[in-house]
Amino acid sequence: MKLKLKVWRQEDAQDKGGFQNYDVEGIDGDMSFLEMLDVLNNNLVNEGVDPVEFDHDCREGICGSCSLQINGEPHGPDRRITTCQLHMRKFKDGDEIVIEPFRATAFPVIKDLVIDRSAFDRIQHAGGYISVNTSGNTQDANSIPIEKEKADDAFYAATCIGCGACVAACKNASAMLFTSAKVSQFALLPQGEIEAHERVLEMVHQMDKEGFGHCTNTGACEIECPKGISLENIARMNREYLSASVAG
Amino acid sequence: MAGINKSTIARKVAMALSGLFLVLFLAQHFTINFTSVVSPSTFNEISHFMGTNFLVQAVLQPILIAGVVFHFIMGFVLEIRQKKARSVSYGKYNGAANSSWVSRNMILSGIVVLAFLGLHFYDFWIPELIHKYVETNPDDPFRYYDETVAKFAGDPIRTGFYALCFVFLMLHLLHGFASSFQTMGLNNKYSPGIKIFTKAFAIVIPMGFVFIAIFHYFNNL
């Protein structure tokens, strides 16, 4: 396959940046999208050009590092996958592929396609945890009875890998799906009840402080989420938030 | 509750509540207007009651105006915040791949509805205020039907513009009505039923208003 790539190049956070066009040849349909970028970078290095910076780590859909906006969609045209799980067979010979970093004011570009997603870390640090005494007398979590439905919902919420596709897909650059997943994974479990009010207030406060937008329920985040995190989590977080606000 | 008024969730909940209030008003407004099609005397009777009742005029009307103003101002406030949240736009953004046009363009449909409200106030509310408080005309319980019909009779442009604006109101409600329940935290086994009801409401009520305008236009040719 021969492809025309339109790739965002940006020297650093201060640089204005812009698109650069590249041609790549010999791309096999069984290659992953990141392997195609590896081919591009190999070519660029051979030509003495600075290779395109992009984030990647596990390359098996677990770490959420490989966040790219591909032809106007986070992680490309496929569903329930990360960029590393996107295969080139989704494209045709001669296609033009536009590759950009995830865009949000809270996700500043570091270089080329690499963005700073530490805003997510700060939201998590604000309350995405439970305080447990680990001095040796901790009760075994498996000894606490939990309804199957709640345990499943908590587990599904916990599958969020924090890739940022929800923010990238949202027309408002809202982080509500991410934050609500991190709130829900504890709110649904007895271990999370004790700090529930403080958690949701602090995490929403931090989310707002980072400059993410409002949720307008377009549902784009749920569609583009590689783990299929449900909008139900946003409704749950809103309930938790209102309840915590009223309780003071 | 410190800081709640600045939170994104609280603002969206306030937006949803004001929207739900306006939906209630819309249902009431449609019910009254529809009587103009089936019984002009009933329409006159209800309109006279609404136009002269102290509770409606002194309490409900100011609350309604406050609700309308709040909904529109908050809509713009949220839009500004959203623009700031993505200061650099995408070179290519395929919104249609994951969301509906109406959900992405609430501000556009809202602006058209706002423009419509301007015309609607110019057509009905301002003349009503002038009639009652400037000219201080004597009470006439039989004038409402004739005044309403006169706006559409022989005016295809006004009738067409009303119809177009109600199409935009339908688009606004198709997303906004159901969305308000999600914002309020309601996403459970009743949600599919709520979605069906809100979609039916979003189509039936605005199209009903279109029918009323077109009915009076053709009925007075």
Pair of tokens at residue B71: 């909904």
Same domain? For A107 and A173 the reply is: no
Least confident span in A75-84, B96-105, B125-134: B125-134
Average pLDDT over residues B145-155: 93
- For A208, which of B8, B87, B90 is closest by C-beta distance? B8
* CA A160 to each of CA A63, A172, B121: distance values in angstroms, whole numbers, following the listed order: 10, 20, 49
**Interface contact B182-A235, CB threshold 8 A:** yes
* Domain presence at residue A129: yes
Tell me how far apart the alpha carbons of residues A59 and B194 are, in angstroms, rounded to a whole number: 41
**CATH code at A205?**
1.10.1060.10
- Confidence category of residue B3, pLDDT binned at 50, 70, 90: low
Percent of chain B with pLDDT over 90: 93
Same domain? For A207 and A174 the reply is: yes
Is A118 near chain B, with CB under 8 Å? no
Same domain? For A232 and A125 the reply is: yes
H helical segments located in B53-155: 54, 61-85, 101-104, 106-120, 126-129, 144-152
Average pLDDT, chain A: 96
Tell me how far apart the alpha carbons of residues B83 and B72 are, in angstroms, rounded to a whole number: 17
Give A-chain residues touching B1 at CB under 8 angstroms: 245-246, 248
Is B137 near chain A, with CB under 8 Å? no
Same domain? For A130 and A218 the reply is: yes
Q: Which of B138, B132, B146, B127 is nearest to B44 (CA)?
A: B146
Is A214 near chain B, with CB under 8 Å? yes
Strand partners, A129: none
Find the radius of gyration of the CA atoms of chain A: 20
Location of structure tokens 């498996």: A142
**Interface contact B92-A224, CB threshold 8 A:** no
Same domain? For A74 and A10 the reply is: yes
Is B38 near chain A, with CB under 8 Å? no
**Has residue B19 got a pLDDT over 70?**
yes
Mutate to test the interface with A, among B5, B7, B8, B109 (most CBs of A within 10 A): B8
Same domain? For A127 and A232 the reply is: yes
- Render the burial of B140-176: b for 16+ CB within 10 Å, e for the rest: eeeebbebbbebbbeeeebbeebbebbebbbbbbbbb
Average pLDDT, chain B: 95
Is A19 near chain B, with CB under 8 Å? yes
Same domain? For A60 and A152 the reply is: no
pTM of full prediction above 0.90: yes
* Domain presence at residue A139: no
Pair of tokens at residue B144: 């409402």
Spans of all domains in chain B: 4-84+105-219
pLDDT per position as a tens digit, B26-72: 999 999 999 999 999 999 999 999 999 999 999 999 999 999 999 99
Give B-chain residues touching A218 at CB under 8 angstroms: 98-100, 103-104
Is A79 near chain B, with CB under 8 Å? no
Q: Is residue A3 a contact partner of residue A95, using CB atoms and an 8 Å limit?
A: yes
Residue B5: the pLDDT is: 67
Report the complex ipTM.
0.93
Average pLDDT over residues B112-125: 96
Tell me how far apart the alpha carbons of residues A134 and A145 are, in angstroms, rounded to a whole number: 20
- Render the burial of A222-238: b for 16+ CB within 10 Å, e for the rest: bbbbbbebbbbbbbbbb
Residue B107: the pLDDT is: 97
Pair of tokens at residue A79: 């569903």
Domain boundary among A69, A96, A111: A111
Same domain? For A179 and A62 the reply is: no
By C-alpha distance, the chain A residue nearest B93 is: A72
* CA A227 to each of CA A83, A107, A176, A178, A181: distance values in angstroms, whole numbers, following the listed order: 13, 20, 15, 11, 11
Same domain? For A98 and A151 the reply is: no
User: How many C-beta neighbours within 10 Å does residue A213 have?
Assistant: 26
Cβ-Cβ contacts under 8 Å for A11 (sequence gap 6 or more): A17, A111
* Domain presence at residue A219: yes
* Domain presence at residue A17: yes
Same domain? For A130 and A233 the reply is: yes
- For B86, which of A73, A173, A217 is closest by C-beta distance? A173
* Domain presence at residue A176: yes
Same domain? For A180 and A73 the reply is: no
Mutate to test the interface with A, among B7, B87, B89, B98 (most CBs of A within 10 A): B98
Is B101 near chain A, with CB under 8 Å? no
Give B-chain residues touching A232 at CB under 8 angstroms: 187
Mutate to test the interface with A, among B6, B12, B83, B86 (most CBs of A within 10 A): B86
Q: Which of B143, B144, B162, B142 is nearest to B152 (CA)?
A: B162
Give B-chain residues touching A172 at CB under 8 angstroms: 82, 85-86
Same domain? For A105 and A16 the reply is: yes
**CATH code at A19?**
3.10.20.30
Is A24 near chain B, with CB under 8 Å? no
- For B90, which of A103, A220, A245 is closest by C-beta distance? A103
Q: Which domain holds residue A182?
A: 117-134+145-247
Q: How many domains does chain A fold into?
A: 2
In chain A, which among 127-166 make CB contacts under 8 A with chain B?
Answer: none
pLDDT in tens, chain A (248 residues): 999 999 999 999 999 999 999 999 999 999 999 999 999 999 999 999 999 999 999 999 999 999 999 999 999 999 999 999 999 999 999 999 999 999 999 999 999 999 999 999 999 999 999 998 888 888 888 899 999 999 999 999 999 999 999 999 999 999 999 999 999 999 999 999 999 999 999 999 999 999 999 999 999 999 999 999 999 999 999 999 999 999 87
Dihedral-angle region of residue A6 (phi above 0 means left; psi in -120 to 50 means alpha; beta otherwise): beta
